[in-house]
């Protein structure tokens, strides 16, 4: 394990190295604004566990990621709080556990014809903002290209650009940027048939088959697709990094690479086992700090927001449930995960993991582990599993997932049993560890206000405070005194965005933070929005004095 940055001052040194450029002695010492804060680039892939050479799986060659890892730090114990994308992105965007803000059901605005529930959005406490908005408030140009599964609608104040054309190249060159590129080629849907993508790796490549899957031609073909998609993804990563280097920005940019949750195959995605939660992460610093090393501290997705704020010189708000994994903060002792509704089927599972052991608590033990999911059943391997199950062809390990009920508690040694097959709950040798992790789960649930197995209808009632429909952000109020404009909104926690009418429609909305002066005749467009509420009516105002 490599050392973390040992103190806040060490982190500041990293930023100052980027910040200061000195003129010749006979000129005033100046700082170049483009480097006062580090640029940050996120390369985010979908549905991928640590299936690349840098993390010990050499099935497929990934030259771009291997180079990135050789110049950066490999984080080996990074975990999503959910085995599916929308709750995971809610955690990343807010620094809050999905189960604490009503974001744990996949997806909150869909599957209403199955659930009979109204579409709704997660509603975090009023002080919670998307961290990209906090970066924008400090001068960052923020782009998202272009996944938006947050379990709530992003306010207009969250991004400068939030579309497929979002790119750091669209900013003022003097402005630091935070840019996300979402790469979807590794998504679960990439296993569906017909599969018509370029063949990058040979089909006769030997693939590692986890013990919970049968070794059949169908499974091996899906594994080929999975690894072939990873090879295609690596190319896309390389193309983005080439753009960064061509723009002369490689050595002023902190690069993050990670996946939004674990793997795409059955008994991976949607589950709280490591196969569903553990992801690879690489961070490359401009000075190649700790190049080629690995770091095994436990990291949760809720830690991303406070870490990003720390890297950009801000103090993370106290309400964040995550913690920075850089600086002088003590490393995590535990990470936590959850599984609730996935599409049209609902379960209630919570998990806690330390460096070695994982504890799982099932709140619906009367339900089997496997719950039918029509989207997942489009994967040939899932169809193969169901066929072999019905024909009695699966072995004991492969049948575990199809048991008619499940134990109330599970305990696994994730080091010696990485596929989490052997439940140690009844083994007296591990009674103390069982008690420790069970107590930690109780503490966590109480701390974040999680109510496992709460009917989703009751969750909606709580989020809407008994109302019959989603709350609406109050219309912003504009106050003009001479040429100075002040904006207010009665909805606690609402962000106010504004822009000048007549500008290019693609012009980003600005974040209102303080009164500002305008010219006579200026026409303004204004919207207020609290996360989880419907945005306010957009008002238009012409300045006259």
**Rounded to 5 degrees, what angle do the CA atoms 246, 252, 258 make?**
85
Tell me what the mean pLDDT of segment 46-62 comes to.
98
Q: Tell me what the mean pLDDT of segment 117-139 comes to.
A: 97
Residue 145 has pLDDT above 70, yes or no: yes
Question: Global pTM?
Answer: 0.93
Tens digits of residue pLDDT in 164-204: 999 999 999 999 999 999 999 999 999 999 999 999 999 99
Beta bridge partners of 31: 20
Contact 258, 180 (CB under 8 A): no
Q: What is the pLDDT of residue 504?
A: 74
pLDDT at 328: 79
pLDDT tens column, 104-115: 999 999 888 899
Is residue 236 exposed (0-12), middle (13-18) or buried (19+ Cβ within 10 Å)?
Answer: middle
Confidence at residue 509, expressed as pLDDT on a 0 to 100 scale: 95
| Among 6-15, 312-321, 366-375, 437-446, the least confident range | 6-15
Q: What tokens appear for 4 in the block?
A: 């973390």
> Cα 409 vs. chain centroid, distance in angstroms?
27
For residue 15, name the pLDDT band (cuts at 50, 70, 90).
Answer: very low
Q: Are strands 39-45 and 253-259 parallel, antiparallel or unpaired?
A: parallel
What confidence tier does 402 reach under pLDDT thresholds 50, 70, 90? very high
Q: Report the sign of the C-alpha dihedral through residues 324, 325, 327, 330, in that order.
A: positive
Average pLDDT over residues 20-40: 44
Neighbour-count burial of 271, counting CB atoms closer than 10 A to its CB (0-12 exposed, 13-18 middle, 19+ buried): buried
Residue 265's nearest CA partner among 320, 211, 223 is: 223
Residue whose C-alpha is closest to residue 283's, from 514, 30, 69? 69
Neighbouring residues of 434: CB distance < 8 A, sequence distance ≥ 6: 359, 409, 411, 424, 425
pLDDT average, residue stretch 212-231: 98
Any bridge partners for residue 162, and if so which? 144
pLDDT of 62 > 80? The answer is yes
Is the pLDDT reported for residue 25 higher than 50? no
Query: How far is residue 534's CA from residue 485's CA, in Å, rounded to a whole number?
Result: 25
Average confidence score pLDDT of the chain: 92
Q: Which of 85, 142, 414, 489 is catalytic?
A: 85
pLDDT of residue 36: 67
What structural domains and CATH numbers belong to the chain? 37-332 (3.40.720.10), 339-458 (3.30.1120), 477-542 (2.60.40.10)
- Averaged over 436-449, what is the pLDDT? 98
Q: Is residue 85 annotated as a catalytic residue, yes or no? A: yes
What the block records as the tokens of 303 is 């830690």
């Amino acid at each position: 394990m490599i050392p973390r940055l040992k103190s806040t001052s060490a982190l500041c040194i990293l930023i100052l190295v980027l910040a200061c450029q000195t003129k010749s002695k006979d000129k005033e010492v100046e700082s170049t604004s483009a480097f006062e804060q580090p640029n940050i680039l996120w390369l985010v892939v979908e549905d991928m566990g640590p299936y690349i050479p840098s993390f010990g799986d050499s099935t497929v060659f990934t030259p771009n990621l291997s180079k990135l890892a050789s110049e950066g730090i490999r984080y080996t114990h990074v975990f999503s709080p959910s085995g599916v994308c929308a709750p995971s992105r809610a955690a990343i965007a807010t620094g809050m556990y999905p189960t604490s803000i009503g974001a744990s059901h996949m997806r909150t605005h869909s599957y209403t014809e199955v659930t009979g529930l109204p579409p709704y959005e997660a509603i975090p406490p009023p002080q919670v903002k998307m961290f990209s908005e906090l970066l924008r408030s400090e001068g960052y140009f923020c782009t998202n290209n272009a996944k938006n599964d947050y379990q709530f609608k992003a306010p207009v104040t969250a991004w400068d650009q939030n579309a497929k054309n979002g790119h750091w190249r669209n900013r003022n060159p003097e402005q630091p940027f935070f840019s996300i590129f979402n790469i979807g080629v590794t998504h679960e849907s990439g296993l569906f048939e017909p599969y018509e993508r370029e063949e990058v790796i040979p089909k006769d490549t030997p693939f590692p088959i986890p013990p919970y899957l049968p070794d059949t031609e169908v499974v091996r073909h899906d594994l080929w697709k999975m690894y072939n998609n990873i090879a295609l993804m690596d190319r896309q990563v390389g193309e983005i990094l080439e753009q960064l280097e061509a723009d002369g920005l490689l050595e002023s940019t902190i690069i993050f690479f990670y996946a939004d949750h674990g793997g795409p195959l059955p008994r991976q995605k949607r589950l709280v086992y490591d196969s569903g939660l553990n992801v690879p992460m690489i961070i490359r610093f401009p000075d190649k700090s700790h190049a080629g090393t690995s770091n095994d501290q436990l990291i949760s997705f809720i830690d991303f927001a406070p870490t990003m704020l720390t890297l950009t010189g801000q103090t993370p708000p106290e309400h964040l449930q995550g913690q920075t994994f850089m600086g002088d903060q003590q490393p995590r002792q535990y990470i936590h995960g959850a599984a609730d509704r996935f599409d049209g089927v609902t379960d209630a599972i919570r998990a806690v993991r330390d460096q070695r052991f994982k504890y799982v608590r099932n709140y619906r033990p009367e339900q089997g582990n496997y719950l039918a999911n029509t989207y997942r059943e489009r994967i040939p391997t899932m169809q193969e599993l169901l066929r072999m199950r019905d024909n009695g062809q699966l072995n004991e390990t492969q049948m575990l997932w199809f048991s008619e009920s499940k134990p109330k508690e599970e305990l696994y040694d994730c080091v010696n049993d990485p596929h989490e097959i052997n439940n140690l709950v009844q083994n007296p040798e591990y009674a103390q560890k069982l008690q420790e992790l069970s107590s930690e789960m109780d503490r966590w649930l109480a701390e974040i206000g999680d109510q496992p197995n709460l009917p989703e209808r009751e969750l909606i009632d709580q989020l809407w405070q008994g109302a019959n429909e989603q709350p609406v952000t109050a219309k912003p109020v504009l106050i003009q005194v001479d040429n100075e404009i002040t904006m207010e909104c009665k909805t606690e926690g609402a962000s106010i965005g504004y822009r000048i009418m007549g500008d290019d429609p693609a012009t980003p909305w600005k974040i209102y933070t303080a009164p500002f002066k305008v010219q006579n005749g200026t026409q303004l467009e204004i919207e207020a929005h609290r996360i989880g509420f419907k945005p306010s009516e957009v008002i238009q105002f012409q300045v006259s004095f």
